[in-house]
Homo-oligomer: A and B are copies of this chain.
Amino acid sequence: MEINGVTIEDTYAEAFPTWISRVIITAVTEEWAYRAATEATGFATSAIGCPCEAGIEAVLSCEETPDGRPGVSILICAGKKKLKEQIVERLAECVLTAATTSVFDGLPDAQEKLPIKLHFFGDGYEYQKEVGGRKCWVIPVMQGEYVGEEEFGIIKGVAGGNFFVMGENQMAALMGAQAAVDAIAGVCGVITSFPGGIVASGSKVGSNKYKFMPASTNEKYCPTLRDKVPDSKIPAGVNAAYEIVIDGLDEECVSEAMAAGIRAAVTVPGVKFISAGNFGGSLGPYKFELHKIL
């Protein structure tokens, strides 16, 4: 299959379940909501070495937020126990401390809820108040009062949706990946948790040489090793590859994000080949076949 002269490999991305929370952060201006969201979703690229995966899902208009202020929604993804701990710490340290912010549950219809009790910070001076139909706690703080919801819906979502953008050189592949990330930013329900949304150094599980490593470079996808490793997956004419990893609320939005990203990547001159990563079905139950979703 070819789009715009770029070969789309007949393969699939393999993904696995994760628990996800969506937190709506509002603030006096969009910029302040964005700053809090950026801090709260930092150090959260990959569950391999970070305590969770997190990212900014969308900028929200005032009409989309419970308090009518500008907002940003973020997704936080982890195992259930880790998820609670991470929501508590990231909201307590990165949002409650941020200027003018409030937080609201972005999955109010979820059946499962996590209690996130920030109001103890109020040391007894806190009180309850309804904002936009949400039961919130108000905590007196130095800037005045912090207001936020304390129960967050969680659902079982999808982690690890992915595709590879390969180019005739590094800059072509990188700009192709960037165009993909730009396109995915317009899709609801998903995040790309790596720096700038792009992975420069995709990994394989474990290591052949260093048994203590949980993950190591995926030599089959390293362009400089093409002639040194058997079964290289790097096609002739490709000299760089970037991976886009997508976490999302469900299969539909991950699939939509992959399609939007790939369609944007192939508009970039020098992009040559699109593929995706899977472990033959051993990693997880979700399969996103590139030819099907496009």
Contact = CB atoms under 8 A, between A and B. Distances in A.
A263 interface: yes
A39 interface: yes
A182 interface: yes
B195 A99 contact: yes
A201 interface: yes
A105 interface: no
A89 interface: yes
Interface string A198-210: 1111110001111
A121 B43 CA distance: 19
Nearest to A175: B171
A216 interface: yes
A175 B143 CA distance: 12
Given A97-B46, A125-B225, A210-B120, A29 B200 contact: no
A120 B225 CA distance: 16
Interface stretch (A108-116, A238-246, A281-289): A238-246
A161 interface: no
B142 A49 contact: no
Question: Which 6 A-B pairs give the minimum distances between C-beta atoms?
Answer: A42-B42, A141-B201, A61-B186, A98-B195, A124-B209, A123-B216
Interface of A: 28-32, 35-36, 38-46, 48-51, 61-63, 67-70, 89-90, 92-101, 120-125, 139-146, 164, 167-175, 177-179, 182-183, 185-186, 194-196, 198-203, 207-210, 212-213, 215-219, 221-225, 228, 239-243, 260, 263-264, 267-270
